[in-house]
Chains A and B, each alone.
Chain A
Amino acid sequence: MAKKKGKSKVNPIPARTIGSEGLDHLTAGRFKLAIESLKSALKEDPHATILRERLVEAYEGRADELSSKGMAREAAVMLEKSGAITGTPPDPVRLCALYLKGGQLARALDSLAPLKATPEGRNVLSTGPLAELLAVSALVGQVENVAPLLDDESSSFMKHLQTARELLNACADGRDEEALGLLKKLPITSPFKNVRVFIHALILSSPQPQKSLKLIDKIEDTSLFHPMAQAVRLSVTGGPSVLQSISSLDPPARDLATRLLNVSPEAFQAIRQLEQGAPDQRIKGLLARSLENYFPRATLRTLCLVLLPHAPGYLGLFQQRFGPLPPWEVHRIRALDLEHRDRWEGAVVEWIKAVEHMDDPMMKALVFRHLAGFKTYEDLDDIPRILFRSKGRNDYSRAKFLESSLDHDPDDRETHLALMGLHDSKRDAKSVRAVIDRAVRAFPGDRDILEAAMDAAFASGTFKKAVSFAEKILVVNPIHSRAREILVEAHLAHARKKVKEKRLDLADKELVVAESTEKESTRNGRVQVCQAMLALLRGEEKQAEEQLDRVRNLKKNSLEVELMIQSEAERFHVPATLMKKIINNNFKQVVDRMTPDAISFPALIRELDRYRQDKHLPMQKWYKTLLPVFTRAVHVEISLEERRSVCNFLLENELFNPLEQFAGEGLRQWGDEPSFRFFNMVAKARGNAFRADRWALRRLERDMTSLQARLDTRTMGNMERFLSMVGGTPFGAYAGDGPDDDDTGEEAADEELFESVVGPVLEVLSEEVRSRVRAEGALRRKLGDKKYEEKLVKELSRGPLDNEMFREVIRRIVQEILSGGGEP
């Protein structure tokens, strides 16, 4: 030791070195080390002014550092030390803030004393946050420390302090009227003004929430009462997010908010835990016995019931805790659980079981209505049948559910409308008529029902009914354009009938009535075309020609006019020779001139679609004429939906060449869009599923399962029809295991497909050849040789197998086998 001491005396570290070390620490923000070094250096050289100044900086830096770490008391000490070195007191407001943070209220107030010495300081003390600080400090029992800081107006401060105390007392005791009276004694200029506003907002929070919120808005962000005011705001506004919002408040304000909402801190903690959990954890939490200490049992039960469909495993525990549930409720919970997991078949079964246990007919009706709304069906009524085929329950369908709903609740207007729409979309005239009759009987004056009934009756061809509904609608709403349109159509239909009966005078009368019924602004020219046809039949060619010219001037789209003329000529049975006299091959000329665009082409398709309903029109002849228009329209930029609609139209009319072009363009524009892939496949196979690639068919089957929610009914229907040619199950995923997950199923399906196509041919062959063909087929299927099978299928699908063809097919099959046919 002695040696060490001696050594330190011999080699003391120079003050300059220590000082420079301190300065390095200071620059690097290592304030603690800087303070130690600079203090040591100052001991060696007490007159070094620079070191002294740097030490003050180091103390202040350390104060900030400690304050940011939450060590406010220690920070305040550092600030005091820096003041002692310079001989001048540190910033009083900063020091006060640090003491307040450290919970030393008396010291905080003492530290403000230097402010009293200057007029500027006195001004700071009497306004803003410091004035509020003094007021609140006095309210919480620091009057003695506050008094020295007050200026000459201390008497008014004391007076306001007394009033504020009385105000708090009155508010806490619930003496609201007295409190409201005391509020008036505290002027807006008083440092107690925010106490006044806060208490006022608190008192009004229950009876006058809006006024309370307006008062809360008056409390500035910097005010001590701001967090408390926010607590009052939350308790006033309520709502689902209130508990989360409370969590974000400062602890005192959180206490106030939970107090105002009558939630104990323990209950608040429990709610926060429940909020953070997954559904099953929440239900577990709600079922915990301890929660009954804080919350009413009925509320806990209700919340559990809402959650049970997400965690049905707790059904048993729930019933132990809250007593047994009625059977229908148990099935309801299971059904909702299955719905959440997209297991629609199971959900339907559970709902049906629930209905069987229900007494209330309204509830039953609601469940059936709910079942009818399952998205899985889309609008294909047969899908549920496929769904339940495996269980032998084929009596479930959307229409059936809606009808069952009406049986239990015949006064449900929406269900009537839904059922009407459903039958109408399926063009089921008989059912539409039955539904219309029932709906109109139940709601004779309902405009929506009458409108739906009118449209459905018109679409199903029952014109008389449609007219009677249209007339009823026009009584209520004389400017109803659709009703007027239907009346006109009905008169035209009568006129055509009369022409057929060769009673041209009566037909003329009908057309006159039709013309007078039609409004000029909505005139489409059809009545005039009909008049022209009638004139032609009477031999008044000139009149007919003039009439048609008027129509041509009226309508912009000349092709639409020509279609109208062609259709009415057919309907009025105008001989071709007569027609030639006046229209002189106009249709073809118009077609040759037409340049289809994004508006006219889809409109033309819609128009043709409407004409298709009339079975007497020579549609095929028209399509032949229109083929150049279709070809020209392939590259017209139309929306995906419109292109799909065109493709559907072309497919339904077996126009495979343009369909292939339209589908190809669709694929080019929208990549691998499954619907265009389907149209392309159908076009290439010329509508014969046997000619289509088997793997493409399988992919189509998969597409249909995944696309059912976003594809339109028409495309889905066409897909289903195409698949049904090969006995495909459109919803393989529902009917059994999905083709992706079950190879055995797929192989069996392939074999079935092979047998259905090749089987009848093989029957006529000898047993030996037959078994060779089957073995070869199985082997090639295994090897993935599609082309072998395709060749067979292609040969077989050429047409009806007459004797000659049959022999040829056998010859080809045998040749294929013997030559090791197909392409591996």
Chain B
Amino acid sequence: MMDPYFILGVDRGVDDEGVRKAYLEKIRQWPPEHYPDEFQKVSEACSLIQTHKKRLAFQLFHSSAAVDLAPLGAMSGVRGRPSLDELTEWMKKLLASIRLDTRR
């Protein structure tokens, strides 16, 4: 099961208003007409932790053997921007994998 807190980008101590705001922000980011899958994920996540009671139920009964490790991949919330050296180095490496048409 996906971690609804991670999907909505809120921390575990969030209140009802915090969930609502995060939900609205996410559905603005992923409008259903363009991103139906993402929108569904966001809606499901919201329905799991929308109210205090639901968050308590999630805390009490949620346990998953296939624990979603995605939160480990994006915890800081700050995106790292590559340096010029890194960009240059990656481009050099990518040159080795360029697909060239050998027919002239």
Given A259-B80, A332-B60, answer yes or no on A239-B93 (Cβ-Cβ < 8 Å): no
Q: When the two chains form their complex, are residues B75 and A296 in contact, meaning their CB atoms are under 8 A apart?
A: yes
Q: When the two chains form their complex, are residues A275 and B90 in contact, meaning their CB atoms are under 8 A apart?
A: no
For A94, the chain B residues whose CB sits under 8 A away are 100, 102
- Cα A267 to Cα B11 with chains together (Å): 21
For A761, the chain B residues whose CB sits under 8 A away are none
**Identity of the chain A residue whose Cβ is nearest the Cβ of B5 in the assembled complex:** A302
**Identity of the chain B residue whose Cβ is nearest the Cβ of A275 in the assembled complex:** B69
For B93, the chain A residues whose CB sits under 8 A away are 251-252
Interface hit among A21-29, A304-312, A654-662, A810-818: A304-312
Given A271-B69, A282-B67, answer yes or no on A262-B90 (Cβ-Cβ < 8 Å): no
Q: By DSSP majority rule, is chain A's interface helix, strand, loop, or mixed?
A: helix
Q: When the two chains form their complex, are residues B71 and A299 in contact, meaning their CB atoms are under 8 A apart?
A: yes
Interface residues on B, range: 35 or more
Q: When the two chains form their complex, are residues B61 and A370 in contact, meaning their CB atoms are under 8 A apart?
A: yes
Q: When the two chains form their complex, are residues B90 and A239 in contact, meaning their CB atoms are under 8 A apart?
A: no
B20 within 8 A of A: no
B49 within 8 A of A: no
A297 to chain B minimum Cβ distance, whole angstroms, is 11
Q: When the two chains form their complex, are residues B95 and A306 in contact, meaning their CB atoms are under 8 A apart?
A: no
Q: When the two chains form their complex, are residues B96 and A362 in contact, meaning their CB atoms are under 8 A apart?
A: no
Interface hit among A205-213, A428-436, A458-466, A697-705: A205-213
- Cα A93 to Cα B52 with chains together (Å): 64
Q: When the two chains form their complex, are residues B83 and A172 in contact, meaning their CB atoms are under 8 A apart?
A: yes
B95: which of A133, A172, A267, A363 is its contact (CB, 8 Å)?
A133
A205: which of B61, B73, B79, B86 is its contact (CB, 8 Å)?
B79
Q: When the two chains form their complex, are residues B63 and A309 in contact, meaning their CB atoms are under 8 A apart?
A: yes
Given A205-B79, A240-B70, A256-B82, answer yes or no on A366-B104 (Cβ-Cβ < 8 Å): no
Q: When the two chains form their complex, are residues A105 and B95 in contact, meaning their CB atoms are under 8 A apart?
A: yes
A296 to chain B minimum Cβ distance, whole angstroms, is 6
Given A210-B34, A362-B53, answer yes or no on A101-B84 (Cβ-Cβ < 8 Å): no
A308: which of B12, B63, B75 is its contact (CB, 8 Å)?
B63
- Cα A169 to Cα B99 with chains together (Å): 27
- Cα A102 to Cα B95 with chains together (Å): 10
A303: which of B71, B74, B90, B100 is its contact (CB, 8 Å)?
B71
- Cα A168 to Cα B98 with chains together (Å): 20
- Cα A133 to Cα B98 with chains together (Å): 8
- Residues of A at the B interface (CB closer than 8 Å) are 91, 93-94, 96-97, 100-103, 105, 115, 120-121, 124, 128-130, 132-133, 136-137, 139-141, 168-169, 171-174, 202, 205-206, 209-210, 222, 224-225, 227-228, 235, 237-243, 250-253, 255-256, 259-263, 267-268, 271, 274-275, 279, 282, 295-296, 299, 302-303, 306-310, 332, 336, 340, 360, 362-363, 366-367, 370
Q: List 10 A-B pairs, Cβ < 8 Å.
A: A129-B98, A139-B91, A172-B87, A238-B74, A256-B90, A262-B75, A262-B76, A303-B67, A303-B69, A303-B72
